[in-house]
Structure 1
Amino acid sequence: MKNGPEDRSFNDIANKFQKNIYGSTKGRLRHELLLHHLAQHTSIAASRLQILDAGGGTGVMAESLLNMQHSLTLTDISQETLDIAADRLGRFDKLSILKSDILSLPQKQYDLVICHAVLEWVEKPKAVLEKLASLVKPHGFLSVSFFNRDAQLFGNMCYGNFDYVEQGMQVKNRVRLTPNNPLKPKDVLTEFAALPLSIKLTAGIRCFHDYLRDLDKQEKYYPQLKSLEIQYGDQEPYLWLGKYFQIIAQKV
């Protein structure tokens, strides 16, 4: 995996990030699919766990897991996003909040470590992945998701953004919510092979949603669309087309 220019903080646009990502069917579907796969492939539905949400931002996933009575540590490098999370999650007594980059996190181990939509924003994704694996207890679980560079290219070709693709999907004035360092799933899977982890799930997140020609169907037929995303999202060849890619692995 190639390193990006620098770790990205959302300190300057936390509220915009919250609205644009989670105020749409894109964000809702991503969140619900990630949570579905966690329920199917980890022990969150059967046990009370100690969970680390690394780079957890405004606490959307944390809220779902805290509602399931788990104990959770939420970290991020952006104080502004953590302030939003603290307001959202203030009612939970099993929550700890820590401002830190992932590589500087204390060397404590957890039953479940999640790091969703973070790797594509950091300077050293390989080092971050190694750090995350070290924070998982024996027989515990790691879930990562990241922006899929292969799907980014495919989508831009479908949308007719040919000049953008020819420029290597790089522009001088980058949109602030466009990831610094989108990753290829097979490159990340190669890094996983070097870690003491056994992969339990590989799945595309939003394999179909973003490619719909009629955008109204994203909302109008949301339940049917979500069902089909679940049915086909972990199957060849569709998993490689997900705008995000999720990997769940268990510590050996």
Structure 2
Amino acid sequence: MKIEIWSDIACPWCFIGKRRFETALEGFEHKDQIDVEWRSYQLDPTLPDHYDGTETEYLSRIKGMPQDQVKQMFGHVTAQAAGEGLDYDFDKVVVANSFTAHRFLHLAKEHGLMDQAKDALLSGHFEQGKDIGDTEYLVSTGVALGMPEEEIRETLAGDRFAAEVRADIAEARALGVNGVPFFVLDRKYGISGAQPAEAFAQAIRQAWNERSPLTVLPQSASADGAVCGPDGCN
């Protein structure tokens, strides 16, 4: 069964949701038969590469909320993150456009390191105050994961994987996704938000149990129905 997850590195609930989803998946008896695919999404594609201001100032401006109210919201999110073993520090968050980082994640996916890279960038952004728009930070992160430095630099210097990132975002729109994290189970069920692990576990079990078995139609007696198998053709 396939589970697709649309998320943005600049989304605090996406890291929390990732942890809760992983907890649910770890307790699922058929977890080795679940294919998890991370998909790109941008909460604010209009952001400049680097924003001259704090996360509090940025959200206050785009949401039209007083800064004190934004800080209260951060306090709630920080407490929820702590419940998942995450140590958020919104005072250190560097506000930056995430498009280049998403291209980096697609490169990591090509190397079979998407999950590890996503963890590293989310932690870097929300826990360590790293700049996810900075090439040197992305290069050092990739190298630490075992990716070739030259390939990372070549990818980030050009527009490689830009089409893939845009395709992910366009597909999210087509599916009606207007917020992340968003989980799509077997292209049958959609789950919006960082739900409790128990809710994810229930949804995974339900989607697994409702998978449609393949129905093989009776073969025709004509030669057009001939097939080849491990033991030859007939």
Common topology (TM > 0.5)? no
The higher-RCO structure (CA 8 Å, 6+ apart) is 2
Under TM normalisation by the shorter chain, which class is it? under 0.3
TM-score (norm 1): 0.26
Greater share of residues in helix = 2
TM-score (norm 2): 0.28
Larger radius of gyration: 2
